[in-house]
Amino acid sequence: MSAPLTLLFVRHGQSEWNAAGLMQGQTDGIPLTGLGHAQAARAAEELAALRPGALLSSDLRRAVQTAEHCARATGLPVTTTPALREQAYGALEGRPSRELWDVVDWTDPHWAAEGGESLAELHGRVAAYLAHLCAEPPAAVIGLVTHGDTIRAARAVVAGLGPDALPVVTPPNGSVTRLEVVP
């Protein structure tokens, strides 16, 4: 790759578990709410205006439903991949998020819930996927429909930061985050 690569990360619209305040992780089958579909449609219009040449998505339902809005707005087919999934929270998935403040060690990037994935593992997965995209980009501008923690990890990877320096702020549901990767 010799030219800059533009990555347009779309966070999925609000899901039923977002609305209920439940930890989702990689639990599949959770659909978008009505608000989530509206957020996805707005994000899709914003994405279309940025003219991506390829559209990739997490294979989890909430992302795929968002990607379907993006496909309609851009006219692009969607390619799904598990590489864009949310961080796995294992045994904590389905529990109320507010209960997890005393359970999760948010300061240790190597901590993982039973059956889950640490921030370091998430960072490594995202770094490997972005390296693959940079080596064989399907387009100069790529739309990627994914999840909040995955976008935080991508921001760290592109900035050259490790898993201990992920941005604290998670992008809102239905937002577009633009990252430029310079070879």
State pLDDT tens for residues 2-16.
Answer: 679 999 999 999 999
Asked whether 87 and 150 are in contact (CB, 8 A), the reply is: yes
Q: Phi/psi at 80 (nearest 5 deg)? A: -95, 155
User: Residues 12, 69, 123, 147: which is the catalytic one?
Assistant: 12
Tell me the residue ranges of DSSP E strands in the chain.
5-11, 54-58, 78-81, 141-146, 176-181
Please count the other Cβ atoms lying within 10 Å of the Cβ belonging to residue 173: 24
Domains contained in the chain, number: 1
CA distance 8 to 165: 21
Say if 120 falls within a structural domain. Answer: yes
Residue 6's pLDDT is: 98
Question: Of these residues, 37, 86, 117, 123, which one is catalytic?
Answer: 86
Phi, psi angle pair for 81, to nearest 5°: -150, 140
pLDDT tens column, 133-179 = 999 999 999 999 999 999 999 999 999 999 999 999 999 999 999 99
98 part of a folded domain: no
In a domain, 146, yes or no: yes
7 Cβ partners below 8 Å, 6+ apart? Answer: 130, 133, 142, 144, 154, 158, 178, 179, 180, 181
The identity of residue 51, as a single letter, is R
User: Mean pLDDT throughout 72-96?
Assistant: 97
3-state SS class at 141:
strand
Answer yes or no: 136 catalytic.
Answer: no
pLDDT tens digits, residue range 22-77? 999 999 999 999 999 999 999 999 999 999 999 999 999 999 999 999 999 999 99
Q: Is 86 a catalytic residue?
A: yes
Report the alpha-carbon distance of residue 161 to residue 158 in Å, rounded: 8
Question: What pLDDT is attached to residue 182?
Answer: 86
Is the pLDDT confidence value at 80 over 80?
A: yes
Reply yes or no on whether the pLDDT at 107 is more than 80: yes
- What's the pTM? 0.96
Show the domain range for 14: 5-93+103-181
Task: For residue 22, give the CATH number of its domain.
Answer: 3.40.50.1240
